[in-house]
Structure 1
Amino acid sequence: MPNIKSAIKRVRVAKTKTLKNSIRKSVLRTNIKKCKQAIASNDSNAAEALRVAIKTIDKAAAKNIIHKNTAARRKSKLAKALNAAAK
C-alpha cells in the first residue's frame, strides 16, 4: 500500500477507471454478441442490432477501450456478415 498522499489517490483513481472500463468492455462484447446472433438467425432486427453494435464500438474506441483500427475492423466484419446474410 502506498504511503504518499498522491500515490494513494492514484490507486483509488486507477481502481475506479478499471471498473468503468471493464463495464464498457462488457457492454461492447454483449452488443457484438447480440448482433452476431441476430445476423445468424436472420432476425428482422439485425440492422438495428448492427446500428447499436456500431455505436457501442465507436464509443469504446473514443474512450480508448479498444484501438481505432480494431473498432474499424469489427464494424467492417459485422457489416459484411449482415450484407452476406441479406443475399
Structure 2
Amino acid sequence: MANTPQAKKRIRRNAKRELVNKNRLSRVRTYIKKVETAIEAGDKDAASAALREMQPELARGVSKGIYHQNTASRKMSRLNKRVAAI
C-alpha cells in the first residue's frame, strides 16, 4: 500500500492515464477494423478510404505512446499491401 503522498498521487494519476490510453487504443483499433472489414468485403474504394483515415490515427497512437513506431509501420505496411492486392 502506498504510504507517501507522492505514491498516492501516482496511483491516482496512473488510473486516469490508463483510461485515456485505453480509449486511444480502442479508437485506433476501430479504424484498423474498418480497413480490414472493407478488405474482407473486397471493396477497394472503401478500403482505400478507410486506410487514408486510419494512417493519421495510427501515427497519433505512436506519438501518444500507445504503439511503438515499428509496430505502427508494420501494421500500416501490411494493410497497404492487402488493399493493393484487391
Fold shared, TM-score > 0.5 on shorter chain = yes
RMSD: 1.1
How far did residue 47 of structure 1 move?
A: 1.2
Q: CA deviation at 1:25?
A: 0.8
Between the aligned partners of 2:61 and 2:50, the Cα distance in structure 1 is 16
Alignment identity in percent? 39
2:64 alignment counterpart: 63
TM-score, normalization: structure 1? 0.90
Normalising by structure 2, report the TM-score. 0.91
For residue 17 of structure 1, report the CA deviation from its aligned partner.
0.6
Aligned residues: 85
Q: Secondary structure at the match of 1:66?
A: coil
Gaps of 5+ in 2: none
- 2:76 is aligned with what amino acid? K
Of stretches 52-61 and 70-79 in structure 1, the one that deviates more from structure 2 is: 52-61
Structure 1: 5+ residue stretches without partners: none
